[in-house]
């Protein structure tokens, strides 16, 4: 039994729309369609609507516990 393989057509990449409103992007304004959408997006970054999540540093109590645990591990690993 032979299996006939159909030719695989590559999918066309979809053009990305404006991240603010979804209209087609313009070359002049980068990924945005207009200066207005560009400034709306910038305003969202400035206001804190968009934010990159960051890990909070441990507070002093957590830091003391970590230091004690590390020191305890160091003393356990010594060979006499």
CATH number at residue 42: 3.30.50.10
The answer to whether the pTM exceeds 0.85 is no
Instruction: Report if residue 64 sits inside a domain.
Output: no
Q: pLDDT class for 79, splitting at 50, 70, 90?
A: low
Instruction: Report if residue 3 sits inside a domain.
Output: no
Contacts of 37 (CB under 8 A, 6+ apart): 18, 19, 20, 21, 23, 29
Considering its fold, how many domains does the chain have in total? 1
Domain of 39 in residue numbering reads as 16-49
Instruction: Report if residue 37 sits inside a domain.
Output: yes
- Going from the C-alpha of 52 to that of each of 35, 45, 49, 56, the distances in angstroms are 24, 10, 10, 12
Instruction: Report if residue 62 sits inside a domain.
Output: no
Instruction: Report if residue 7 sits inside a domain.
Output: no
Q: What is the pLDDT of residues 9-48, one digit of tens each?
A: 877 766 779 999 999 999 999 899 999 999 999 999 999 8
Range in 3-12, 38-47, 71-80 with the lowest mean pLDDT: 71-80
């Amino acid at each position: 039994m032979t299996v006939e393989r159909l030719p695989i057509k590559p999918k066309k990449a979809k053009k990305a729309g404006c991240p603010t409103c979804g209209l087609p992007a313009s070359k002049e304004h980068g990924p945005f369609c207009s200066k207005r959408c560009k400034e709306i997006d910038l305003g969202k970054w400035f206001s804190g609507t968009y934010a990159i999540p960051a890990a909070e540093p441990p507070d002093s109590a957590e830091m003391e516990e970590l230091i004690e645990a590390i020191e305890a591990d160091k003393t356990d690993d010594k060979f006499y």
